[in-house]
Amino acid sequence: MIEARNLTKTFKDKKRGVITAVADVTFACQPGRIYGLLGANGAGKTTTLRLLATLLKPTHGTAIVAGHDVGTAPEQVRAHVGFLAASTALYGRLTAREMIAYFGRLHGMADDAIRERIRILADELQMHDFLDRRCDKFSTGMKQKTSIARTLIHDPAVMIFDEPTLGLDVMTARAIVKFVRACRERGKTVLYSTHVMSEVEKLCDTIGIIHDGRLVAEGSLDQLRARCGEQDMEDIFVKAVGGEAAVAAALAR
Grouped pLDDT means (10 residues each) for the chain, 253 residues: 95 87 95 94 91 95 96 94 84 96 95 96 94 94 93 95 89 90 94 90 94 94 93 92 66 54
Query: Do 162 and 222 fall within a single domain?
Result: yes
Return the pLDDT at 113: 97
Tell me how long the chain is: 253
For residue 208, list its beta bridge partners.
37, 218
Query: Do 76 and 162 fall within a single domain?
Result: yes
Return the pLDDT at 243: 75
CA distance 152 to 148: 6
Query: Do 151 and 186 fall within a single domain?
Result: no
Return the pLDDT at 155: 94
Query: Do 142 and 167 fall within a single domain?
Result: no
Query: Do 73 and 97 fall within a single domain?
Result: no
Print burial letters for 189-203: b (CB count within 10 Å at least 16), e (below 16). bbbbbbebbebbeeb
Domain count, the chain: 2
Query: Do 189 and 244 fall within a single domain?
Result: yes
Whole-Å CA distances, 72 to 2, 9, 42, 54, 77: 15, 16, 27, 10, 10
CA distance 241 to 206: 17
- Please report the DSSP string for 19-43 in residue order: EEEEEEEEEEE-TTEEEEEE--TTS
Other Cβ atoms within 10 Å of 80 Cβ, number: 17
Return the pLDDT at 250: 56
What CATH number is attached to the domain comprising 15? 3.40.50.300
Coil vs helix vs strand at 131: coil
What is the crossing angle of helices 233-240 and 221-228, to 10°? Answer: 60
Query: Do 242 and 180 fall within a single domain?
Result: yes
Determine, yes or no, domain membership for 229: yes
Determine, yes or no, domain membership for 85: no
- List the domain range (segments joined by +) for residue 56: 2-80+157-252
